[in-house]
């Protein structure tokens, strides 16, 4: 039976096994999918051993996404430009790294949240691996403007420089109120995961706009609470999680499963459903 795994630390929360098992059942496939908690210092060795023993594919979550890209022998354009990977696949001569996060986010925004990105103003809060994993896809989807804001201003400026797109700009956190409003506000910082306070002005989201947290579950709670206080529509990243998993499933099995039934199954079990994998 083909073996798949999700690597992370922590990883006990991950819904990836349930998602991929549901996809496999839907498509009439048999597979084994497990969690593997591994410390950063041991990730490369453990991942190589998994594939050496016949592993068919791996999802990668925090804090190993940059290490996953470094481990690979070849990478798709999305992983190369983001500098992080969330999927590893064995190929002749080594490992192929992929990044499906951005594609998953855009698909969830378009098809589940019914938000057209073309011509919109978007704010990206954060400039780390999560933000890098989605920034290019947002621009590719037709945004008119993408403002990147991070507590460390240098990181935001570096991401914008890598984007090499005149529609992207960086700004200090203190300029948020002045730059508002935005049609889409995406929260990609680790504040929720780390339990840190989230200080945001109330007028960030334009009328009819959306606040979106890339996390799901408890890590998304502070941002969703801010959105509720601000009186704006908001959602967590559960839909993105399912959509990026479907992209990985298609890479491994050559068929893209239906995501709505799996999303509904997960949402029923976690009404405010986080981590990034």
Enumerate the known binding-site residues for NADP(+): 126-130, 214, 237
Angle at 87 (CA atoms; ends 76, 258), nearest 5 degrees: 100
DSSP 8-state class, residue 190 = S
- Of 138, 140, 108, 113, nearest to 123 (Cα)? 138
Q: How far apart are CA 182 and CA 209, in angstroms?
A: 7
Q: How far apart are CA 187 and CA 168, in angstroms?
A: 16
The binding site comprises 14-16, 61, 86, 101, 126-130, 214, 216, 237, 244
The binding site for shikimate comprises 14-16, 61, 86, 101, 216, 244
Q: How far apart are CA 190 and CA 181, in angstroms?
A: 23
Contacts for 85 with CB less than 8 Å, ≥ 6 apart: 60, 65, 68, 69, 72, 75, 79, 97, 98, 99
Residues in the chain: 277
What is the helix (H) or strand (E) element at residue 102, kind and residue range?
helix 101-107
In which residue are the tokens 């481990």 written? 71
Query: Could you tell me how many helices (H) and strands (E) the chain has, helices first?
Result: 12, 12
Whether 255 is catalytic is no
Which of these is catalytic: 65, 81, 107, 120? Answer: 65
Query: Which residues are designated catalytic?
Result: 65
């Amino acid at each position: 039976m083909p073996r798949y795994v999700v690597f992370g630390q922590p990883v006990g929360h991950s819904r990836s096994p349930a998602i991929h098992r549901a996809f496999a059942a839907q498509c009439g496939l048999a597979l084994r999918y497990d969690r593997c908690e591994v410390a950063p210092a041991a990730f490369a060795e453990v991942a190589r051993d998994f594939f050496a023993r016949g592993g068919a594919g791996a999802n990668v979550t925090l804090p190993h996404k940059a290490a996953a890209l470094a481990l690979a022998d070849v990478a798709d354009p999305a992983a190369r430009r983001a500098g992080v990977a969330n999927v590893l696949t064995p190929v002749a001569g080594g490992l192929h790294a992929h990044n499906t996060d951005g594609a998953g986010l855009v698909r969830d925004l378009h098809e589940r949240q019914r938000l057209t990105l073309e011509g919109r103003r978007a704010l990206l809060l954060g400039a780390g691996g999560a933000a890098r994993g989605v920034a290019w896809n947002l621009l590719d989807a037709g945004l008119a403007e993408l403002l990147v804001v991070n507590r460390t201003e240098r990181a935001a400026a570096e991401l914008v420089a890598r984007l090499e797109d005149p529609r992207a700009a960086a700004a200090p956190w203190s300029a948020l109120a002045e730059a508002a409003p935005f049609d889409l506000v995406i929260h990609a910082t680790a504040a929720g995961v780390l339990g840190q306070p989230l200080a945001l002005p109330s007028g960030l989201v334009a009328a009819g706009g959306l606040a979106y947290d890339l996390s799901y579950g408890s890590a998304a709670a502070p941002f969703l609470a801010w959105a509720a206080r601000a009186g704006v529509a908001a959602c967590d990243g559960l839909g993105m999680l399912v959509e990026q998993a479907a992209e990985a499933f298609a890479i491994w099995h050559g068929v893209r499963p239906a995501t709505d039934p799996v999303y509904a199954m997960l949402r029923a079990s976690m009404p405010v459903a986080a981590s990034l994998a």
